[in-house]
Amino acid sequence: MARLPFFRPVPIVQAPLQGSTLFVGGALLALANFMVVLDTTIANVSVPNIAGALAVSPTQGTWVITSYSVAEAITVPLTGWLATRFGTVRVFCIAMAGFALFSALCGIAPSLGVLVAFRVGQGLCGGPMIPLSQALLLRVFPPEKAPMAIGLWAMTTVVAPVAGPILGGVISDNYHWSWIFFINVPVAVAVTILSWQTFRSRETPTQRRPVDFVGLGLLVLWVGSMQIMLDKGKELDWFGSPVIVSLAIVAVIGLAAFLIWELTAEDPIVDLRIFRHRGFTVGAVTLSLTFGAYFASIILIPLWLQTSMGYTATWAGYATAGGFLAIFFSPIAAQLVGKVDPRLLTSAGILWFAGVTFWRSGFTTEVDFLHIFLPAVVLGIGVPFFFVPTTRIALGAVEPRETASAAGLSNFMRTTAAAFAASITTTAWDNATTSARDNLAGTLNGVEAQIDALVAAGLSAEQALRQIDGFVQMQAVMLATDRIFLITSVVFLASAAFIWLAPRPRVAVAPGAAH
């Protein structure tokens, strides 16, 4: 039987693209990366809308975010194996086509369970596209223009999370929530077709490599069990539920088995031996802790603004989209990494996060839009001073042949930390709100007098009681939000100190290896 053209071997041409073809190729890869990264935040401000439409709580609605992040994280370590087995261009195009398909399915999902399943599929397809888009950029750009390629890729990575909340808010307020997924479809289809036409002559050689099915299965098992435990813990009364206990046992045993298997396997799916480098271990842990705490605020602020402060999804998106300054400070951070101890830059960037988060912990229910937006703008200054040097520390500690594996493992840890942080934050916020409400209700004085005054103003007794109850709830949510911000600032402080356990990196990292 004749082979389909899509799977027919093509000649390997290493010459870079030129002229308009280079421009089109760069734009396609940048757009692909932008779209995948955008989907990590576009649903953040839409969670209340999605939850309301599907008749679930906002806390349950965060599964839409975490399921995508976890699925994306799981496929990142597989990218190298997939590209070696099937070819970089072929995997990229198939992943993009799958991303389009699952985006369309997400838009027509009739229930939260179905939506989460399709978001998992979307994440599984999106994961390989992030490193592959960067790899293809370096392949098609001439060597002298490699910095330009890296800058183009990095720009989309920085801009996409900023644009996500705004775009998600505008769509949720003016159209049906499903359009946050539908907008991906025509773009992804066009990118798939044009990318295959543009890059097929740049396909990489393929070879048969064994896949570590046991390691992959254990990875999915322990990460999935842990994520479900964190997401369902509040709803099922945590360890008072046999389901949660079972998930915890599976997660612990699965993690232990995963570690043992990957450390002894001949061709492991995740090379855990990289952790023997102290610089990588400290850098990757610092990256995970800090990014998890950073992502927690991205999740928390839109939920607080929409559920308690009366903000629409659009305005909640505007309030959280102040990170555009990261675009302007990224080149400065990149230049300083080669001149200043990267541990100092990382520590300074994380302390900047801690300061802004501590600032936010003083919010009150009277805070206006400007004072919510301003910390987001200031926070953007510290973003590149954290990401760039921390990656330099982690990848600069490994051997050159381990750089790709180290980058994949570091990205897996960072993405998984973000998913875990989202679940932990929403649960802790919900618990803190309940606790604060109970404390406030027990300290109220003169409630009857206040009800009488409201009745005298024209309200019924029931309306007066409801108004007081709403006021107590609003204050409780505010106290809980401030408490989470305070805890987050402490995590930042710990991370800023932890990075100094790493030795100063001595090995130069190749351009774009961080991605």
Q: What string of DSSP letters covers 315-346?
A: HHHHHH--TTHHHHHHHHHHHHHTTS-HHHHH
| CA 79 to each of CA 131, 208, 293, 498, 514: distance values in angstroms, whole numbers, following the listed order | 8, 14, 26, 30, 15
Could you give the CA distance from residue 8 to residue 201 in angstroms, rounded to a whole number?
12
The pTM (predicted TM-score) of the whole model is: 0.76
Could you give the CA distance from residue 40 to residue 197 in angstroms, rounded to a whole number?
28
Question: 115: closest CA among 53, 194, 204?
Answer: 53
Could you give the CA distance from residue 241 to residue 173 in angstroms, rounded to a whole number?
38
Q: Is 411 exposed, middle or buried (0-12, 13-18, 19+ CB in 10 A)?
A: buried
> Per the structure block, which two tokens stand in for 391?
């990656």
pLDDT value, residue 187: 92
pLDDT value, residue 174: 85
Could you give the CA distance from residue 377 to residue 106 in angstroms, rounded to a whole number?
32
pLDDT value, residue 146: 58
> Per the structure block, which two tokens stand in for 31?
């757009």
Find all residues with CB under 8 Å of 59, minimum gap 6, and list them.
Answer: 234, 235, 426, 427, 430
pLDDT value, residue 281: 93
Could you give the CA distance from residue 405 to residue 177 in angstroms, rounded to a whole number?
37
> Per the structure block, which two tokens stand in for 189?
């289809």
Low-confidence ranges of the chain (pLDDT < 70): 1-19, 144-155, 157-158, 162, 322-323, 400-401, 403-404, 442, 444-455, 457-459, 461, 465, 505-515
- With vertex at residue 191, the alpha carbon angle to CA 188 and CA 196, rounded to the nearest 5 degrees, is 130
pLDDT value, residue 250: 94
Instruction: Output the CA torsion 145→149→150→153 (10° steps).
Output: 170
pLDDT value, residue 510: 45
**Contact call for residues 395 and 407 (beta carbons, < 8 A):** yes
User: What percentage of the chain's residues is helix, strand, coil (to nearest 5)?
Assistant: 80, 0, 20
- Give 301's DSSP letter: H
- Which amino acid, residue 425? T
Could you give the CA distance from residue 104 to residue 369 in angstroms, rounded to a whole number?
34
pLDDT value, residue 260: 93
Could you give the CA distance from residue 178 to residue 176 in angstroms, rounded to a whole number?
5
SS3 label, residue 266? coil
Which H, E and C letters describe 209-228, residue by residue? CCCCHHHHHHHHHHHHHHHH
pLDDT value, residue 6: 42
pLDDT value, residue 515: 41
Find all residues with CB under 8 Å of 110, minimum gap 6, and list them.
Answer: none
